[in-house]
Amino acid sequence: MMSQNYETSEEEEFMNVTVRPSSKKVHKSFEDADDDSSPKSLARQVKLLGELVTREMSSMRQELSRLNLTISGFDKRVSSIEERLDILEQKILPDNRMELQERLEKLEKRSPAEDNSVAESVIISQLRLELNEREQDNMLNDVEIAGLDEKNGESTINITLLVAKKIGLSLEERDIVSAERLGPRRIIADDAAGQRRPPRAIVVRLARRSVRDDLLRAARVRRGADTSGIIEAVQSKRFYVNERLTAANKHLFYKTRELGRRDGWRYVWTKDGRIYARRKDGSEVCRIRTPNDITKFFGNGTV
């Protein structure tokens, strides 16, 4: 058997040689590498990220500043509108009350012979109701503060500011149109039954209805606050901040509240000078406008 010799040319020998590059050309030092894990690259990324965050924060601050200016502008416009509405109400409501008062007085001055019509009696009752509601509407910016002892030389405006602070509301003097004790001054003394007569309430008229609402809301949250820090007294006692009611509505509210307690009604309250009652949660809300409504909802009106 003949053996075969395989010979390769110099060119083929060259082609079969694996050429390995020098390690100096392939491998770079760790310090000079420009991949994501190098300290220089990470530092550059952190710097870029910091600049991006700074720009975004600056943009957000500018946007918030513009938003605050816009909200401030809206607040001023709303306050201006409220003040204009209050001025209009204070101008229109007294005129309406005077007109109703004149009509009522004309009917009531009629002689008994002329005043024998049931229709006229209904008209008089309706006029009295409307007159009372107009008077109540004129008190929508008012509150009464009861339970504060009266002192000579007192500043009722300063007392009102202290009351507001006591219940967690910041008021300024410009928020108060007027503040005065209700009714003629009386001597603080014991009555015939030996009970100390309560001091006169302070009637406060606020510049805007929204301020009045804030004051009433704060008083409900801090129900039970006492006079410490407001009036110097031997013993602190509770004070009360409520809506101001007309004499007719005040009597109606007192009677409704007492009858509600007698009959186990859970809620009796006022809102914007209107009187409401509800027997229990989920039951019908009853509006009390006249003594006839008391008879309707509570039966015998004797307390």
Q: How far apart are the first and last CA of the chain?
A: 142
The torsion angles phi and psi of 21, rounded to 5 degrees, stand at -65, 160
Residue-level pLDDT, tens digit, the chain, 303 residues? 444 444 444 444 444 444 445 444 444 444 444 455 677 778 788 888 888 888 888 888 888 888 888 887 776 676 666 666 666 556 555 556 666 666 656 666 664 545 556 666 777 677 788 888 989 999 999 999 999 999 888 999 999 999 999 999 999 999 999 999 988 876 655 555 556 678 999 999 999 999 999 999 999 999 889 999 888 776 889 999 999 999 999 999 999 999 999 999 999 999 999 999 999 999 999 999 999 999 999 986 565
What are the start-end ranges of the H helices in the chain?
10-15, 23-26, 39-108, 118-137, 156-166, 209-221, 247-263, 291-298
278 contacts 286 by C-beta, under 8 angstroms: yes
What is the structure's pLDDT at 185? 77
SS3 per-residue string spanning 126-139: HHHHHHHHHHHHCC
pTM over 0.85: no
State the pLDDT at residue 179: 96
CA distances from 215 to 12, 17, 132, 255 (A): 103, 97, 24, 26
Identify the residue whose tokens are 């083929």. 12
Q: Which residues contact 61 (CB under 8 A, 6 or more apart)?
A: none
Residues 6+ apart with CB under 8 A from 49: none
